[in-house]
Amino acid sequence: MAYDNLLRIKAFCEIDYHQYIDQRRLNIKAAIERRGKEYILGVDENEFKTYLFEEYSFEPLVIDSNSAEVGEPTMSKETMESRFYSERYNVDVYTFTVYYRFTGSAELFNVKPTTWRMDSTEIFVNQTRNTVSFSFKLYKRDPEAFNDAKNSLYSSAFSNVTNINNDIKNWNNGLEGTINSIFNAQKTKYQEENNFFAAINVKINKDTSSIFTSPTVKKRIIPQPTVAKNKEFSSEPTMSKEMYEDILKVVYDSGKNMEKKPALYIGKVEEGLRDQFLFVLETRYEGTTATGETFNRSGKTDIILKYAKDASNLFVAECKFWHGSSEYLKAISQLFDKYLTWRDSKVALILFVTNLDFTNVLLSISSEIKTHPNFIREQGKRGETSFSFIMNLPQDKAKEIFLEVLAFHYDKK
């Protein structure tokens, strides 16, 4: 069973539990504040708090140890050296991958629990199929050796499942109180503000026809790729603008959240940061596959989202650290010259900025692109650090391309 598009992580080692939970509290506060005064003062409190509880509680991780499936091994040769003689010889090496099904909140595989067993291994998480796997080498065709290696790695990979479940049980138990505290503080603030306005005769608009209902706890409908009949003869891109907007929002929100969690980016190279975005994209859209370091046209691009049925490209993105204006323009040229085909119309350049003078970098992103030979026009900004441009293909000036440049400030050392 060879599953593709897996997120590779060190089991229960990526981010400290306390740091992760602190960010969770900030997310709840931000979710309440985003609703605004009218909503908070008019909504059914119990319904809204129930929604927040469902949204921010965790489901414990459960690994189904009886679901083990062994993928077809790959075979290679390695050179060994004799312990007693200065002889070198080749041996057959088998690499096995074992898959297990799981239930629960997949993000918990990243979190280091407060009580942590110093035992871990590299795992691969596929949230789309709810599988988690690990790989190992075997140097002899021995069933007993295979089972010993499999059982040892199983123990290492999942030794902290009970610990993280204990932590999130405590979180879930206290979540109602956390939500009440944050919500009530915000509501009191708005009430006191209105009382103050009334005391000084500031008119408060009470003529609203809005009905304040809490959002549903069901997962919202996510735009999916649509393929028209006779797609081969259509010049329209295979991904709707709605889906493109959703992808960019997901990338932008994920990148901004990582700015607040230095443990997710400190010490990571481009590939490690890229995988954080792949993890979200590959599990979000039905009928698609998200891959990294994939050949397209004449080079390997960092992120490609493909339509699963015919492997046509939906979205192409490149990830780069910021190394100045000239390298920025080179990155755009690389994306357009090497990776894009005529049918690629929606792309992104994701920039990781370590400079302290982030504002100057943002100004350069907006201004320097106008000197690029494929620049046509600006399309505004989706966010403070997300810039929209219309470009053209080097090999076909009449073909317009949507390019989004997203910059994230990862300055902690």
**pLDDT at residue 235, rounded to an integer:** 38
Q: Are the C-beta atoms of 393 and 341 separated by less than 8 Å?
A: no
**pLDDT at residue 202, rounded to an integer:** 67
Show the tokens assigned to 65: 């140890």
**pLDDT at residue 295, rounded to an integer:** 38
Instruction: Please tell me the distance from the alpha carbon of residue 289 to that of residue 285, in angstroms, as a whole number.
Output: 8
| CA distances to 87, 89, 96, 121, 213 from 79, in Å | 10, 6, 19, 25, 67
338: Cβ–Cβ under 8 A, 6 or more apart, which residues? 297, 298, 299, 301
**pLDDT at residue 407, rounded to an integer:** 95
- Residue by residue, DSSP assigns 47-81 as HHHHHHHHHH--PPPEEEEEEEEEPPPEEEEEEEE
Q: Nearest-5° angle of CA 276, CA 281, CA 285?
A: 160
| Residue owning tokens 């080179």 | 330
Residues of the chain with confidence (pLDDT) below 70: 1-6, 83-86, 202-240, 283, 286-301, 307-313, 343
Percent helix, strand and coil across the chain, each to the nearest 5:
40, 30, 30
Q: Are the C-beta atoms of 153 and 123 separated by less than 8 Å?
A: no
**pLDDT at residue 299, rounded to an integer:** 38
Q: Are the C-beta atoms of 294 and 304 separated by less than 8 Å?
A: yes
**pLDDT at residue 160, rounded to an integer:** 93
> Within 13 A of 161's CA, how many CA atoms are on the CB side?
20
pTM above 0.75, yes or no: no
> Within 13 A of 38's CA, how many CA atoms are on the CB side?
9
Q: Which of 125, 152, 8 is nearest to 63 (CA)?
A: 125
**pLDDT at residue 403, rounded to an integer:** 92
Instruction: Please tell me the distance from the alpha carbon of residue 263 to that of residue 267, in angstroms, as a whole number.
Output: 9
> Around Cβ 384, how many Cβ atoms within 10 Å?
10
**pLDDT at residue 90, rounded to an integer:** 79
Amino acid at 316: V
